[in-house]
A and B are shown apart, each in its own frame.
Chain A
């Protein structure tokens, strides 16, 4: 190990020692028991002497591991070397780092410790995990890596500029102009009492836009875009050809009101009930004067006295939103937890369910009872299961997203969240592969949605490189955020052909038929009768087919493809063309009969492993082929354009 390398926190020596101690304890024990069975002279009675020996060896190994583990942040790479006997030295170039995450469990928070993990696009696990470093060191590392990554990025751009030359891609001009435009945006945000700024400022920004029309397409979604409510409607009701004239008159006030809520949110201290002092350790770069900077930003103000970029808040999850999010989302983890408890304590669970069901007509015990008794028991147990799962899910979501904050430092997004276990991470904006708006039926009912950014790395909860940027907010705001973040214009969704709905009708009818057949099978082998009652599932077929159909849509934009799908967890994914990896047109035998095709657009986002690749389902073959060709063509165009500019692809100031 090079002498300059840093060691982990001394306490990790203790944890490694204990960890390996208890692990190695079993080696001599198992070995002895096996050998004692095979050879007479060896006796199983030696175990009490062998076990401590194994434990001590493990402790020694753990301590050695600690001393042989080193990490270092150099100019070009993050170096990690580890291994007691077999050494491994790993160098991770800054340009390849997807995100840097900090994780803190309850005990670690008490002891001021944190786990830092560094993710790249390759492999299935974190490229480097520092387990543990002190909290201050974790924050320092995260900042340092971010700073160096930014420096590496600047160098790369400077090189590119050197090679392409001529084109107006000067970084300074770019930043300056962008900031000026932002200024108008922020002023408009902040200055709600004065006259509407648009009238005087618009020509200004238009002029600037003329100079760099390419890049500025994205800014159209900013202050002088007329009406958020109108945008909202257009995202949700694709078939309406134009804005509702009735909405027109209050266009300006609506926009103002919309940004005013942003303004509240960006105050120096979060305005909700969250107790800041409790988490003061995480406020280290929340310097309290965030809002002023945000409102009046220029190059100078983005840095603190040490020339370090400061964190600027973008979005804080309010108490109301947190509660709504907790109550409107169902976590798979909660279902898994309930099932786990069920299998762990089956007897206890049955006792409990029997006790609960008895007063309302359940059986005395599992052995005796009439079919009615059992029916009541089943219904009561199901209700119980649903309620308990729901409560667990609410608690889990609440604890996970408690005190969620998103901010930006330079060109990186940084977030933190969690009640018991704190997570904090940074995502370079240039690594964002796609952006997805999600909502479930409940959230749609109350007019809320969430916004996720997807990278090619792996997140702390192995949720496939998908990170919540805005867990839940009013959908009008989420749509505006999406437009600002990606620069996508308000999509006018294409409705899929009627044939698609017919196809789902047929598909769900088949499923319903299978259910009835199963019911018939059950009546044949049990005491239950009247299998034909199961035919009520057919009543659900038309609405199911219709709901699936109306929640499908896509939009071929100027620089982005927008794909919407799903009813229970509807996802509207915005894919920049330059992020496309492969495009496939798929036709099953059923689709071929109907002349339909599905278009699969693959990106490097690792979320696709979990949630499925963005797919336009059941478009007419000709149209699908057109979109296929369009995607390929626009990928090439976008790549050429990006080679000539240092466009980030996403705008970090999206709220």
Chain B
């Protein structure tokens, strides 16, 4: 099983921190308007949010694993709900590599695998180095072509 790049934790922590800060700003905006929220509570919420995000990121990194098995791409992930997914190569419609602004700053990249199944539940492997992402994309594409079935849908 392959783990993600350790730097992915920074990405997740950054995302959690951004969320926590936005929440803090919202609280600060509500403060004079609707009800009084002590400054301590506001700062506290932000700090707790960041701490939770930190713990979550560390744990998620520990459990996130994936593997190319003979017939399928296999992934394990999830902190609250632990999910083991198998994506048979024959079902791969197309494969993307993507990276957002924070990912780019951290030198990371994601591989997104699309199937014809439920369109929102596509499979994303984050936290790969750009080289590894491209390599994985190529491998998946080759495996998908190799095992192509003409009646996927």
Q: How far is it, in angstroms, between the C-alpha of A401 and the C-alpha of B29 when the chains are bound? A: 54
A586–chain B nearest beta-carbon distance, Å: 5
Q: Is the CB of A589 within 8 A of B88?
A: no
- The interface residues of chain B lying within 8 Å CB-to-CB of A433 are 153
The verdict on B116 contacting chain A, using a C-beta distance below 8 Å, is yes
Of A586, A602, A639, the residue contacting B115 (CB under 8 A) is A602
Binary interface profile of B, 55-92, with partner A (CB < 8 Å = 1, else 0)?
00000000000000001100000101111111110110
Given A580-B88, A586-B82, A604-B152, do A632 and B72 touch, yes or no (CB 8 Å)? yes
B150 at interface by CB-CB < 8 Å:
yes
CA distance A516 to B90 in the complex (A): 51
Given known contacts A632-B72, A639-B149, A583 and B118 CB-to-CB distance under 8 angstroms: no
Q: Is the CB of A581 within 8 A of B86?
A: no
Q: Is the CB of B81 within 8 A of A604?
A: no
Are B117 and A602 within 8 A (Cβ)? yes
Closest residue of chain A to B74, judged by CB? A632
* A613 with B80: CB separation less than 8 A: no
State whether A588 touches B71 (Cβ < 8 A). no
Task: Determine whether the beta carbon of B153 is less than 8 Å from that of A431.
Answer: yes
A interface residues, tally (CB under 8 Å): 34
**A121–B123 alpha-carbon span in the complex (Å):** 19
Docked complex Cα distance between A586 and B91 (Å)? 20
The residue on A at minimum CB distance from B120 is A609
**Interface pair B86/A589, CB less than 8 Å apart:** no
Contact B81 A635 (CB under 8 A): no
Which of A430, A431, A582 sits near B88, CB closer than 8 Å? Answer: A582
Contact A588 B88 (CB under 8 A): no
Q: Which of B78, B81, B150, B151 has the most CB of A within 10 A?
A: B151
Q: Are B91 and A642 in contact (CB under 8 A)?
A: no
CB interface residues, A 628-649, toward B, < 8 Å: 628, 632, 635-636, 639, 642-643
Contact between A608 and B85, CB atoms less than 8 A apart: no
Residue in A96, A578, A585, A603 whose CB lies within 8 Å of B117: A603
Interface residues of B in 89-110 (CB under 8 A from A): 90-91
Expressed in whole angstroms, the minimum distance between the Cβ of A546 and any Cβ of chain B is 25
Chain A residues with CB below 8 A from B86, complex form: 582-584, 628, 632
**Cβ of B81 to closest chain A Cβ, rounded Å:** 5
B residues 101-153 near A (Cβ < 8 Å) are 115-121, 123, 147, 149-153
List A contacts of B120 (CB < 8 A): 609
Is the Cβ of B151 less than 8 Å from the Cβ of A642? yes
A643/B118 in contact, CB under 8 A: no
Tell whether A602 pairs with B121 under 8 Å between CB atoms, given A582-B115, A587-B81: yes
Inter-subunit contact B82/A587 (CB<8 Å):
yes
A395 to B96, CA, bound (A): 48
- Pick the contact of A584 from B71, B83, B88 — CB < 8 Å? B83
Contact of B116 among A604, A632, A635 (CB under 8 A): A604
Q: Does A212 sit at the interface, judged by CB under 8 A?
A: no
Which residue in B82, B88, B117, B123 is a CB contact (below 8 Å) of A635?
Answer: B88
Interface size for B (C-beta < 8 A) is: 28
B119 touches A609 (CB 8 A): yes
A636 to B149, CA, bound (A): 11
Q: Is A206 an interface residue (CB 8 A)?
A: no
Q: Which residues of B lie under 8 Å from residue A116 when comparing CB positions?
A: none
* Alpha-carbon distance A589/B119, docked complex (angstroms): 26
Task: Indicate if the CB atoms of B116 and A581 lie closer than 8 Å.
Answer: yes
Closest to B84 in A: A585
Q: Is A512 an interface residue (CB 8 A)?
A: no
Cβ-closest chain B residue relative to A159: B150
In the complex, residue of chain A having the shortest beta-carbon distance to the beta carbon of B115: A581
Residue of B nearest to A601 (CB): B117
Could you tell me the distance between the alpha carbons of A632 and B153 in the complex, rounded to whole angstroms?
18
- A592 an interface residue at 8 Å Cβ cutoff? yes
Q: What is the bound-complex CA distance between A585 and B82, given in angstroms?
A: 8
Residues of A within 8 A of B119 (CB): 609
**Across the two chains, which residue of chain B brings its CB closest to A431?**
B153
Nearest CB in chain A to that of B90: its residue? A639
CB of A121 within 8 A of CB of B87, answer no
Q: How far is the CA of A602 from the CA of B114 in the complex (A)?
A: 13
User: How far, in Å, is A18 (CB) from chain B's closest CB?
Assistant: 36
Q: How far is the CA of A588 from the CA of B119 in the complex (A)?
A: 23
Which chain A residues in 445-492 approach chain B with CB under 8 Å?
A: 456
In the complex, residue of chain A having the shortest beta-carbon distance to the beta carbon of B72? A632
Measured between C-beta atoms, what is the minimum distance from A427 to chain B in Å? 13
Q: Report chain A residues within 8 Å CB of B151.
A: 430, 578, 642
**Does A156 lie within 8 Å of B116, measured CB to CB?**
no
Given the complex of chains A and B, what is the CA–CA distance between A94 and B76 in angstroms? 38
Please state if A581 and B83 are interface contacts (CB–CB under 8 Å): no
Q: Which of A554-601 contact B (CB under 8 A)?
A: 578, 580-589, 592
A residues contacting B by CB (< 8 A) are 96, 98, 121, 156, 160, 430-431, 433, 456, 578, 580-589, 592, 602-604, 608-609, 613, 628, 632, 635-636, 639, 642-643
Could you name 29 residue pairs across A and B whose Cβ atoms are closer than 8 Å?
A: A96-B153, A98-B153, A121-B116, A156-B150, A430-B151, A581-B88, A581-B115, A581-B116, A581-B117, A582-B86, A582-B88, A583-B85, A585-B84, A585-B85, A586-B78, A587-B83, A588-B80, A602-B117, A602-B118, A602-B121, A604-B115, A604-B152, A609-B119, A613-B118, A632-B72, A632-B86, A636-B88, A639-B147, A642-B149
**What residues of chain B have their CB less than 8 Å away from a CB belonging to chain A?**
71-72, 78, 80-88, 90-91, 115-121, 123, 147, 149-153
